[in-house]
Structure 1
Amino acid sequence: MIQIGQSALSLNDVAEIVFNKQQIAADSAALAKVDVNFNFLKQFSSNKLIYGINTGFGPMAQYKVSEDNILQLQYNLIRSHASGSSNLMAPHLVKALMIARLNSFMQAYSGVHTDVIELLVALINNDIAPCIFEHGGVGASGDLVQLAHLGLVLIGEGEVIFEGEVHPTMDIFSRLNIKPLNIHIREGLAIINGTSAMTGIGLVNIIRARKLLSWSVMLSAMINEVVQAFDDHYSFELNVVKHHKGQNKIAGMMREVLKDSKMIRDRSEHLYNPDNLDQEVFEDKVQEYYSLRCVTQVLGPIYDTINYAQDVLENELNSVNDNPVIDHENQNIFHGGNFHGDYVSLEMDKLKTAITKLSMLSERQLNYLLNSKLNQKFPPFVNLGVLGFNFGMQGMQFTATSTVAENQTLSFPMYVHSIPNNNDNQDIVSMGTNAALITKKVIDNSFEVLSIQLMTILQAIDYLGCQEKLSSASHEVYAAVRQIFPKFVEDLPKYKDAKKVKEYLENTGLVIPF
């Protein structure tokens, strides 16, 4: 059981909770601090004008709220801002969102009652996902709209997704004997005033991006194998003189995959032979196309981008992102903008740009395999049937090309797309949740493109009949995927096969260490 609040949460912790249903508990020492923090706020706020406790919110903060209405004020805030639209966020993204909100509360700077902690733990452990819509957040003053839908469920209203179906919240609460939240002081503002939606989505994006990059390295290695490329472009000696961690890591990953391949060629054996000097036109291409030869230089920056984004998102996960910050240790309340999502927004924009480039590399490698004039090894579209009568992978290339084109358009940054709103109180915003959701779409798309690439590589392997010459890592992938996507010669619809292969890539553990 993972103890929330005991120490900083890591990306791996989030992955265990979200994808492996690891149970959690609130660390008792951290929970005691939350209680101290709440009691400090209760005492400190007496006979004082405190933003969000006895005032309105945002540009209406100049209006005082009477003592009789201060608790109703918090309910009004939640209900009025539960205004999202478009698609519901997937349950695993909502779970990550709740982990992020819970962990922020456990820092003991939010002034919340421990009832909120216990309720969030119950929702997470029971796989209850509040119905939260994708559209609504601008990423400043926190993810107000998305988190208001979380708040709506916490007070026993709205709907939840449980066991794959949407139910009224209280139906599930009653079934599982869960008590909804009663507001104590400022729980409404504390729930909605944070970056937890963009952070939760962003963390899941990074988990999936790591897997996607691992597969991109794997498929890049496999395509080099099937075309019998030379080995020096991913060698230690070539890459170590370029002082980038990512490039050298990718090169090492490729060497690990291809270490026992019988198809990769040694340049010294094939091109440094004196007999070759008698040729005026070399039969072998002296250097491969960039999409094969420059894999370490293309994927290296993507590796580094993912790692840096992970550092930033883990920092955000373990940060306090409320306003105001309730500081019981310094006996004060500090107003500012820790709810602003620029850190997450910028990293998501960088990540989606990097993943778009990954999908572009995949598409170029795919095109190389499909274009017989380029590879001079395979029939057009790796067609194993009758040329002109059968079509091989021709139809699937259109899907890959159009999907990459969508990625390229989606890569326009949200970070610089601020629109003032809230009576210009929020005059510069991060659009962090939009950035995270668009990045998710780019990652989804990229898994589709890599699925088509993998299907094509397997057809190429069968055309050559080279299964026994593959490296052990490549052969393992070949054998596993052929179980769900058999070799084909005659033309049949391939959309169901593509979906199966995509699910395999998404759900299979990392084929090589990240």
Structure 2
Amino acid sequence: MVRHTIDEVRDILYGGKQLTITDAEYQTVNESYTFLKRFAEDKVIYGINTGFGPMAQWRVDDKYLKDLQYNIIRSHSTGAGEPIEDRYVRAAMIARIGSFLQGKSGIHTEVIDLLTAFINRSIIPFVPKHGSVGASGDLVQLAHIALCLIGEGKVHYRGEWRKTGEVLQECGLEPIHIHIREGLSATNGTSVMTGIGMVNQLDAENLLRLAVLTSVWMNEVASSFDDLMAAPLNEYRRHAGQIYIAEEMRRIAAGSKCLQKREHELYDNGHSSEKVFEHKVQAYYSLRCTPQILGPIYETLQNSRRVLEEELNAASDNPIVDPTTENVYHGGNFHGDYISLEEDKVKIALVRLTMTAERQLNYLFHDRINGILPPFLNKGVLGLNYGMQACQFTATSTTAESQTLAMPNYVHSIPNNNDNQD
């Protein structure tokens, strides 16, 4: 089975690459659908011939089975607030396809075909920001996507919000048909939080790369001693993230004429009689401890990438339709804890990165600390001109706001759904 990556998602979202489904993947999906069609004929299976959630105790008459699938889509399209950005919704649809390609949902391939068309033609369903509780996956947000798959709701297409049916007709596309459980499968899973996580992952990795680069520059401005990034020093700490960041800093700083060599400046006999050293013996923490600060952030992002890619290639549906063992398993693969916990870690890590950047900016602006630059980098007339003084207000404000947003969501839980989701 093909394993898809976040880098592939990046190429689709930002590189203009088209999403394609292989023949082998289609076959896997077809096998699941064919098996379920046969297996479900004389059995009670959740969401096929029962109600949903706490209503699962009620059997649904065979003549209403297709209505049941439409009902879950329409009844759960109850989100509120502004629409989620297009790139997040595209990533969510990619993640939903990733789940379907595992062949554990028992759906018809036309669902995958229409989602693929939406992604490749940038037909973006209206998906409101509010409504997901996470523990039951992204029921509300996925329902809004599913609503567009059945030709209802609205989509963002070529800069305008339009009725889905009109856009489908204009593009020569047709809404999906309900066969067995397409309604439940389209709404049940972690694909929206996974899509959001993947987009944020790409942004976070870019921010970390910039943070490493600017940290080297800051140490050059300060004429720091280069042993802060020395291989032995950082390898003795053993953490892979710290070792990697130090290695990246050495690569960026290679050939720098701005960094100092401690053995030339302080380890020779020329300074043995000095009582007060002109050059700072050790730089401030925000400069000198960069490998130790950014290292954990790097490791956090590495782990979140791993978890997100697992989820991209995971069956997050319920029930799980397994033609291999010829069984249908009822469980909770829609549960969002894996994503929620990792994204809270990423959030905290990025706030730490923000705090470090703010302190580095303070070093640049504070003439009594850096000792070499005018206040707030003001090259004009002091008192009359203010340089970048007000920029620090924005930096401090943004950092403070980020710190309040670091409060974990993972630990919040309110029972609902008649305590079915307890």
Q: Is this a same-fold pair by TM over 0.5? A: yes
Alpha-carbon distance in structure 2 between the residues aligned to 1:64 and 1:240: 63
Amino acid at match of 1:123: F
The answer on 1:257 being equivalent to 2:257 is no
The answer on 1:234 being equivalent to 2:229 is yes
Q: Which moved more, 1:104-113 or 1:278-287?
A: 278-287
Amino acid at match of 1:304: E
The answer on 1:412 being equivalent to 2:407 is yes
The answer on 1:15 being equivalent to 2:10 is yes
Structure 1 SS opposite 2:395:
helix
Residue 273 of structure 1 deviates from its aligned partner by 3.1
Amino acid at match of 2:156: I
Structure 2 SS opposite 1:87:
strand
Within 5 Å, which residues of 2 pair with 1:46-445? Answer: 46-427=41-422
Alpha-carbon distance in structure 2 between the residues aligned to 1:35 and 1:411: 43
Task: Give the corresponding residue for 1:437.
Answer: none
Task: Give the corresponding residue for 1:30.
Answer: 25
Alpha-carbon distance in structure 1 between the residues aligned to 2:101 and 2:159: 29
Deviations 1:430-481 (A, max 9, x none): xxxxxxxxxxxxxxxxxxxxxxxxxxxxxxxxxxxxxxxxxxxxxxxxxxxx
Alpha-carbon distance in structure 1 between the residues aligned to 2:287 and 2:109: 56
Alpha-carbon distance in structure 2 between the residues aligned to 1:389 and 1:351: 42
Alpha-carbon distance in structure 2 between the residues aligned to 1:222 and 1:312: 32
Alpha-carbon distance in structure 2 between the residues aligned to 1:226 and 1:171: 58
Residue 26 of structure 1 deviates from its aligned partner by 1.6
Alpha-carbon distance in structure 2 between the residues aligned to 1:97 and 1:114: 18
Task: Give the corresponding residue for 1:509.
Answer: none
Structure 1 SS opposite 2:140:
helix
Alpha-carbon distance in structure 1 between the residues aligned to 2:223 and 2:82: 46
Amino acid at match of 1:95: R
Structure 2 SS opposite 1:167:
strand
Deviations 1:142-172 (A, max 9, x none): 2000000000000001111112221111121
The answer on 1:44 being equivalent to 2:20 is no
Q: Which moved more, 1:208-217 or 1:15-24?
A: 15-24
Structure 1 SS opposite 2:328:
strand
Alpha-carbon distance in structure 1 between the residues aligned to 2:122 and 2:58: 40
Alpha-carbon distance in structure 2 between the residues aligned to 1:170 and 1:117: 18
Structure 1 SS opposite 2:129:
strand
Alpha-carbon distance in structure 2 between the residues aligned to 1:118 and 1:7: 18
Amino acid at match of 1:151: A
Residue 141 of structure 1 deviates from its aligned partner by 2.5
Alpha-carbon distance in structure 2 between the residues aligned to 1:106 and 1:288: 52
Amino acid at match of 2:250: R
Residue 138 of structure 1 deviates from its aligned partner by 0.7
Alpha-carbon distance in structure 2 between the residues aligned to 1:10 and 1:25: 14
Deviations 1:20-58 (A, max 9, x none): 121122211221221121121111111222110111100
Task: Give the corresponding residue for 1:494.
Answer: none
Amino acid at match of 1:97: A
CA RMSD of aligned residues (A): 1.0
Q: Which runs of 5+ in 1 are unaligned?
A: 1-5, 428-514
Q: What number of residue pairs does the alignment pair up?
A: 422
Alpha-carbon distance in structure 2 between the residues aligned to 1:169 and 1:140: 29
Alpha-carbon distance in structure 2 between the residues aligned to 1:29 and 1:283: 69
Residue 360 of structure 1 deviates from its aligned partner by 0.4
Amino acid at match of 2:358: E
Amino acid at match of 1:182: H
Structure 2 SS opposite 1:278:
coil
Alpha-carbon distance in structure 2 between the residues aligned to 1:29 and 1:264: 55
Residue 140 of structure 1 deviates from its aligned partner by 2.3
Relative to the length of structure 1, the TM-score reads: 0.81
Flag as ranges the 4+ runs of structure 1 deviating above 2 A: none
Alpha-carbon distance in structure 2 between the residues aligned to 1:29 and 1:279: 75
Alpha-carbon distance in structure 1 between the residues aligned to 2:267 and 2:232: 18
> Percent of pairs identical after alignment?
51
Amino acid at match of 1:240: E
Structure 1 SS opposite 2:162:
strand
Structure 2 SS opposite 1:408:
helix
